[in-house]
Amino acid sequence: MPWDEMNNIAAHVLANLTSGMRFEGSLNVDLNEITMNLVPFPKLHFLIPSLAPLCSFSDVKFEPRSLDQMFNDAFHRDFQLIKANPRASKYLAIGLLVRGDVNIAEANRNIARIHKDIDMIHWNQEGFKVGLCGTPPRGQRHALLGLSNNCCIRNTFHAILERFEKLYRRKAHLHHYTQFIEEDLVGAAHEGVQGLIEEYTALEHVVPPPEESFERFQPVR
């Protein structure tokens, strides 16, 4: 895919992310609400975006999707902007920002349907943040931006760390950075990423206490 197409898709994500601040809607959200609802721990603020339909501003023809299909797409790895597989890992929180003529009942129905097939962490079974903006993107009937805080992001950090370690052992390219920072800070950054991996891994394998019961998703009223 050409660079301009990739940049257009990134711009499309940002346009959907900020739509609630630019247009009217029955359940608009802003960036502060996303941060508050999707980040349960300060360090674990890395969200996996997905876009349905997955298209750029320059796409003049794309396959129209029903609302139900767009919700399915938002949880499919082929519609994500990061190479990861959230379905095979544990969700900490999920944001779903819908654009177009969609009511909360339709959104809740789709969330309840999909909730059965995903692994939400036991202490946040109702961890869905829904935004409804009445204005769809130009040329589309509906659009959906998904933002997932999922433990599978640790695999992305692990891959980055492995590439870093191969270069750092040879001190490759290091001189570009030590012109501006101390080399100790490079090591500290390495430890920080390793800590993130460990925190996500610990949450991935957490087991709910047997004496507690947790209710499944309850629709927003």
From CA 133, how far away is CA 99, in angstroms rounded?
Answer: 5
Instruction: Domain ranges for the chain, please list them.
Output: 3-151, 156-204
Give the per-residue pLDDT at 107: 94
From CA 171, how far away is CA 27, in angstroms rounded?
Answer: 51
pLDDT < 50 positions in the chain: none
Contact residues for 97 (Cβ-Cβ < 8 A; gap 6+): 16, 17, 19, 20, 29, 130, 131, 133, 144, 145, 146, 147
Give the per-residue pLDDT at 110: 96
Helix, strand counts (H, E) of the chain: 8, 5
Cα–Cα separations (whole angstroms), residue 16 to 23, 99, 131, 141, 212 = 11, 8, 10, 13, 38
Give the per-residue pLDDT at 150: 97
Q: What is the reported pTM?
A: 0.86
Give the per-residue pLDDT at 26: 84
The yes-or-no answer on residue 33 being catalytic is yes
Give the per-residue pLDDT at 166: 95
The catalytic position among 33, 126, 199, 204 is 33
Give the per-residue pLDDT at 174: 92
From CA 165, how far away is CA 123, in angstroms rounded?
Answer: 35
From CA 10, how far away is CA 43, in angstroms rounded?
Answer: 24
Sign of CA dihedral 169, 172, 177, 179: positive
Among the CATH numbers 3.40.50.2300, 3.60.150.10, 3.90.1150.200, 3.40.50.1440, which is that of 3-151? Answer: 3.40.50.1440
Reference 147, options 93, 109, 103; nearest CA is 93
Looking up tokens 């891994």, which residue turns up? Answer: 201
Reference 91, options 54, 128, 53; nearest CA is 128
Q: Where are the beta strands (DSSP E) in the chain?
A: 48-52, 90-100, 119-120, 128-133, 142-150
Give the per-residue pLDDT at 137: 87
Q: With contact defined as beta carbons under 8 Å apart, do 200 and 153 qualify?
A: yes
